[in-house]
Chain A
Amino acid sequence: MNLKMMALIIVVGCFIIGALVYIEWPYRSGQRLQISTTTSLYDTGMLDTIADYYKQNYRVSLFFISAGTGQAIEHAKRGDADLVLVHSPSMENTFMQVDGVGVVRKIIAYNFFVIVGPEDDPAGIHNLSPTEALSTIVTSGRSRQSEWVSRGDDSGTHSKEKKLWTKAGFSSDDLREESWYVESGTGMGATLNMANQMRAYTLADIGTYLKYRSDNLIDLEILVAQSKDLLNVYSVMAINPEIYPELNFNNAVDFIKFLVSDEGQNIIGNYGVGDYGQPLFYPAVSLSLENTDPITDWIREYAYLSYEGQSWECPPPYRAGQDNLYL
């Protein structure tokens, strides 16, 4: 009996150790980077493509944790990420200049948010400016003719939405008390599905929208697009090595260099062309170098951070010795 028990415990013990070694192996062996990112980037699948490419060519595994921008930054503040890939300049600014955690910020890509809604467009916002469109939706919502679905999850898209409401003269804190304004509290895809079911309007990033639309999961139409107010800029930031010295800062900087290189920018600019007939993201680096497109000024105005009266992609005190990235 005692022998049998001992044998059983040894077998079970071996199984547990074996299972642990087997599933922990990819993590404990080799180099890796933990990246907190936003759902709008991750759900398109582009980051998986980048991870495969980077693993093959640079032998570093990229582990993505996807959440809203607010949550991604929160994870990073607790030291649970080597890098963040996010899209909310105001939150990035706080993360960098107030919290002092974010460093080496580079703008890597941009695209446009779109206001989408049902094909019959009950509020009649087609081709209006974003702020006019929102005011029209409020009027129409209050007379029970249309509804609005807000992300309500502190993501980059949600923060953009709140800014647009403010610009249109409303406060999202007040609007959320009204019955036609619904908060989904989830990611972009789920929110699009919800808007689709409710025949409601919502603000979406173009990447997720195109994917859902081309897979016939939704039949919402783009009603307002491509305007300065709807610009969406993605940036990458490393974590201040003085605060979390045990994080992999050097690998993080290498990955940032890769993202802004022609190699990385090409992957970004070509992703989705085959499937959707247009890229989901536009590379931002060459644009700011050539400095001819009017969008360059839009990006500068929207996504640069102010420091001592000037605006910067990354203010000088937060470059952590990587000044050669900002020539």
Chain B
Amino acid sequence: MIFMILEITLRSLLISGTATLLATLWSTPIALSISMREFMGKGAVKSLFTALIGMPTVALGLILYLLFSRTGPLGPLHLLYSPSGIIIGQAILITPIIVSFMVSALESVDPGIRDLARTLGASERKASLAVLGEAKRGATLAVVAAFNRAIAELGVAMMIGGNIYGYTRVLTTTIALETARGEIELCIWMMVILLVIVFFLTLLINLFRRD
């Protein structure tokens, strides 16, 4: 039983961790270009990302299920009922969180910094990196909040992963299944682990933010 709990915890961390890394990889450039540039409909784009934070996980799960299903448009990739499928789903789910939080963090940086970097001869890209460096606390918070959302979500993991034992079973789907099975003790263990992960990460970030 302890082996099973460890294995499921490790899988949860790997899946949601990878999803967070992937989402960060593409969300950072998006956030940078939204906050650094002026363009038509900028406000609308920002509102859209903010609104998408509230995307219900079951809605995303259903959309991805129809896409990944064998008869769906992405069927040949065999992503349904696989950990990669959950990773993609969670990465999509948390992209709006990272983008929105990061844009706020970047926009709160003194605009003088970017101009200063430019006057000192930095390229557009280097200037962006300088601003990102200034906003790193806010950016870290965005990533941690996104990870917490990913590891705690149930809809995508259940509908895309299918909760297959030893393959796509993660902390949240185990809790859902074992509650139905009446294995309350196991559920409580899983819940404690989930809470410890989420609290511990947030605590760590708060310590980091203090200095």
Contact = CB atoms under 8 A, between A and B. Distances in A.
B165 interface: yes
Interface in A1-32: 1, 12, 15-16, 19-20, 22-24, 26-27
Interface in A197-217: 211-212, 215, 217
A24 B180 contact: no
B18 A65 contact: no
A212 to B, nearest CB: 5
Interface residues of A, number: 36
B69 A63 contact: no
B182 A15 contact: no
Contact of A80 (B11, B15, B80): B80
Contact of B75 (A23, A26, A79, A215): A79
A215 B84 contact: no
B72 to A, nearest CB: 8
Kindly list the 10 A-B residue pairs having the minimum CB-CB distance in the complex, ordered from nearest. A79-B70, A189-B180, A65-B162, A23-B83, A63-B164, A19-B18, A19-B14, A187-B180, A217-B182, A78-B69
Nearest to B76: A246
Contacts of A22: 14
B195 to A, nearest CB: 22
A211 B182 contact: yes
A12 B180 contact: no
Contacts of B72: 78
B108 interface: no
Contacts of B18: 15-16, 19-20
A23 B181 contact: no
A35 to B, nearest CB: 10
B70 A244 contact: yes
B166 interface: yes
Contacts of A61: 166
Nearest to B13: A19
Interface string A282-301: 00000000000000000000
Interface of A: 1, 12, 15-16, 19-20, 22-24, 26-27, 34, 39, 43, 45, 48, 51, 61, 63-66, 78-80, 186-190, 211-212, 215, 217, 244, 246
Contacts of A246: 70
B71 A43 contact: no
A26 B22 CA distance: 22
A244 B177 CA distance: 30
B9 interface: no
A39 B165 CA distance: 14
Interface string B188-203: 0000000000000000
Contact of A65 (B71, B81, B129): B81
Interface in B62-88: 69-72, 75, 80-84, 87
B61 interface: no
Contacts of B163: 65-66
A24 B82 CA distance: 7
Nearest to B126: A1
Contact of B81 (A23, A34, A187, A188): A34
B167 interface: yes
A316 to B, nearest CB: 28
Nearest to B162: A65
A211 to B, nearest CB: 6
B14 A27 contact: no
Contacts of A16: 18, 21-22
B81 A63 contact: yes
B71 A79 contact: yes
A207 to B, nearest CB: 11
Contacts of A215: 182
A254 B184 CA distance: 36
Contacts of A20: 18, 83-84, 87
B161 to A, nearest CB: 9
Contact of B181 (A15, A51, A79, A189): A189
Q: Which of B25, B71, B182 has the most CB of A within 10 A?
A: B182
A246 B80 CA distance: 15
Interface in B1-49: 11, 14-15, 17-18, 21-22, 25
B206 interface: no
Nearest to A186: B180
B70 A26 contact: no
Given A26-B167, A63-B81, A64-B165, A39 B180 contact: yes
Contacts of B129: 1
B36 to A, nearest CB: 18
A318 to B, nearest CB: 21
A275 to B, nearest CB: 12
A45 B177 CA distance: 11
Nearest to B17: A19
B166 A26 contact: yes
A244 to B, nearest CB: 7
Contact of B69 (A1, A15, A51, A79): A79
A212 B182 CA distance: 6
